């Protein structure tokens, strides 16, 4: 049974003609971690704020744990929705110890119960020895774990996290993705995480919801979304890709493009003649006698791979991007050939 249900959820601000959130439908299972992913202004944070009760919808309904928290102007206040919130800046109280920060949302609990619960969640996030310290004495990653402990302390129905990794440097960010996911799993928490970063979303979420201009573009597992993006926007937003226009062949397993015939991973169910294909850079493999040939325009070293931009010559409007191993000698100006792996090719709208 769905634990959180959004039905036709819409939000229009008075100064805009276009809805900030437009007829969103979403169901979330208990214990599931969902990432709302999209560019600035796509409606993801507004959606989160409506679930939390900080923003009133224009229309639609919200259910949490089977209970209606918004419908037809009826609204349950934020403090009664069973929400645990982790803000982007963590919002820890600098004058309170870590233990007292965690106990802040437990005002209706008895003194002993509050202390025991604070100890329990601090142990869960690995900060039991830091209870007497103050926020300024902790690192950014530790502060984030305190904020998560505070959100989990009242045993909420759902944990909402707004850009939780945006204030962290690259190394700590990767570590905290793992730690936050582990903590949420141990707590069996239902969670919604807002982010504009594809890596954050893919690393922590069971399913990813990509939004643009207030509309859900696709809902899928990270693997499915990367390999089978629904449309051009999703294909480009969740990672680099090569978009080619072409004609679907009669066998419905190949597409004729301006660079040649490209194989699909399976027979297409699309009946359109004119189509677009998304080809991931890692699906283009350099080969001595590859099917496709072009001249290297640019090589960018990333540490994990080399990004190679290849011009395929007359008739091509955009160069192809492919990834080459770091130990492979690829220089601008040389002619290379490559093959395309069908598993990383997808038809897109």
Set out the domains of the chain in order of their start, with CATH numbers. Answer: 2-227 (3.40.50.300), 240-348 (2.40.50.140)
Task: Confirm if 151 and 82 have CB atoms less than 8 A apart.
Answer: no
Query: What pLDDT is recorded for position 232?
Result: 97
Q: Inform me whether the pLDDT recorded for 314 exceeds 70.
A: no
Rounded mean pLDDT of 187-195?
A: 97
Least confident of 61-75, 223-237, 257-271: 257-271
Q: Is the pLDDT of residue 1 over 70?
A: no
pLDDT at 316: 65
Q: What is the pTM of this model?
A: 0.93
Q: Is the pLDDT higher at 317 or at 4?
A: 4
Is the pLDDT at 16 greater than 80? The verdict is: no
Query: What's the confidence (pLDDT) of residue 272?
Result: 72
DSSP string, 333-344: T-EEEEEE-GGG
Whether 23 shows a pLDDT value over 70: the answer reads yes
Mean pLDDT of 87-111: 92
Helix-then-strand count for the chain, H and E: 8, 21
Q: Is the pLDDT of residue 326 over 90?
A: yes
Average pLDDT over residues 172-180: 92
Burial tier of 57 (Cβ tally within 10 Å: 0-12, 13-18, 19+):
buried
What percent of the chain is modeled with pLDDT above 90?
Answer: 85
Span 243-293, pLDDT tens digits:
999 999 988 899 999 899 999 998 777 767 789 999 999 999 999 999 999
pLDDT, position 82:
95
Question: Chain-wide mean pLDDT for the chain?
Answer: 94
**DSSP string of 99-132, one letter each residue:** HHHHHTT-TTS-HHHHHHHHHHHHHHTT-GGGTT
pLDDT in tens, 105-152: 898 899 999 999 999 999 999 999 999 999 999 998 999 999 999 999
């Amino acid at each position: 049974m769905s634990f959180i249900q959004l039905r036709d959820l819409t939000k229009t601000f008075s100064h805009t003609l276009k809805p900030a959130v437009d007829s969103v439908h979403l169901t979330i299972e208990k214990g599931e971690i969902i990432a709302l992913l999209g560019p600035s202004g796509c409606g993801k944070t507004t959606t989160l704020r409506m679930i939390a009760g900080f923003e009133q919808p224009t229309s639609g309904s919200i259910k949490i744990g089977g209970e209606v928290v918004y419908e037809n102007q009826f609204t349950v206040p934020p403090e009664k929705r069973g929400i645990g919130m982790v803000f982007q800046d963590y919002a820890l109280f600098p004058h309170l110890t870590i233990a007292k920060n965690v106990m802040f949302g437990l005002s209706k609990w008895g003194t002993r119960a509050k202390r025991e619960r604070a100890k329990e969640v601090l142990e869960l996030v690995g900060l039991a020895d830091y209870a007497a310290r103050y926020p300024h004495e902790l690192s950014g990653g530790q502060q984030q774990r305190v904020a998560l402990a505070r959100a989990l302390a009242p045993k909420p129905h759902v944990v909402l996290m707004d850009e939780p990794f945006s204030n962290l440097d690259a190394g700590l960010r990767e570590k905290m993705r793992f730690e936050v996911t582990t903590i949420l799993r141990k707590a069996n928490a239902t969670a919604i995480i807002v982010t504009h970063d594809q890596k954050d979303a893919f690393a922590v979420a069971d399913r990813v919801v990509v939004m643009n201009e207030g509309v859900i573009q696709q809902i899928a597992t990270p693997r499915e979304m990367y390999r089978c993006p629904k449309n051009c926007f999703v294909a480009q937003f969740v990672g680099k890709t090569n978009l080619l226009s072409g004609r679907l062949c009669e066998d419905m397993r190949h597409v004729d493009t301006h660079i040649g015939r490209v194989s699909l991973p399976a027979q297409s169910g699309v009946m359109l003649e004119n189509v677009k294909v998304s080809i991931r850079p890692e699906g283009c493999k350099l080969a001595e006698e590859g099917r496709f040939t072009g001249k290297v325009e640019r090589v960018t070293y990333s540490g994990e791979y080399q990004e190679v931009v290849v011009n395929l010559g007359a008739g091509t409007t955009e160069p192809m991007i492919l990834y080459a191993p770091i130990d492979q000698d690829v220089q601008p100006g040389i002619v290379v050939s490559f093959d395309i792996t069908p598993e990383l090719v997808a038809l897109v709208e």
